[in-house]
A and B are shown apart, each in its own frame.
Chain A
Amino acid sequence: SYELTQPPSVSVSPGQIVSITCSGDKLGDKHACWYQQKPGQSPVLVIYQSNRRPSGIPERFSGSNSGNTATLTISETQAMDEADYYCQTWDTSTVVFGGGTKLTVL
């Protein structure tokens, strides 16, 4: 079965740029999306189709996908961005999530 690998945790200072990676075999040939989940809340889609933002998602969120790695980048990170982030793709008829990355804004 297809697997996605994320780093368990990443930290960043307010106002800085941070990237969260998601690795999978030939992931660049697939579509990747990203979700943000804050404690006690449901996930929110922040990036779909590898690099597109849903309406209402701030421009500081961006995505890329090439080779074996999809990347979520947050520029000018704010305290409110502290959350768990999950990548997701699909393979034939099944949907796959990465294990999640806890983003800490120090």
Chain B
Amino acid sequence: EVQLVESGGGLVQPGGSLRLSCAASGFTFSSYWMHWVRQAPGKGLVWVSRIKGDGSSTSYADSVKGRFTISRDNAKNTLYLQMNSLRGEDTAVYYCARGCRDDWCNWLDSWGQGTLVTVSS
């Protein structure tokens, strides 16, 4: 059974930093693209970033480019999201999600339970 467990959320001041983690199990982690998706309170889903299975390729939404960095440690089956220069509009539940094995597809077939990030003074 695929399991994704996020951690690292919390309250942070504007301009601060936070690192989210997502522990994966139940599948060959290094074979899959992994994504971060966020959802502000009462709002819709917004894609944040993705990383290829071997870590060789990444991409970001314009709203986080230059501030957030996605990475992975395949030896630890863990996905990360380093978030710097945080703003109030970054307040959201952050989900990690499993993508595809292949480069051409981008559906997300398994999701974690999410971790809440609140940016406020």
Binding site for B on A (CB under 8 A): 1, 31, 33, 35, 37, 42-45, 48-49, 54, 84, 86, 88-90, 93-100
Contact = CB atoms under 8 A, between A and B. Distances in A.
Contact of B47 (A44, A48, A84, A94): A94
Contacts of A84: 44
Interface residues of B, number: 21
B81 to A, nearest CB: 15
A4 to B, nearest CB: 10
A95 B107 CA distance: 9
B112 A97 contact: no
B25 interface: no
In this complex, the member of B44, B62, B105 whose beta carbon has the largest number of chain A beta carbons within 10 angstroms is: B44
Interface string B35-50: 1010000001111001
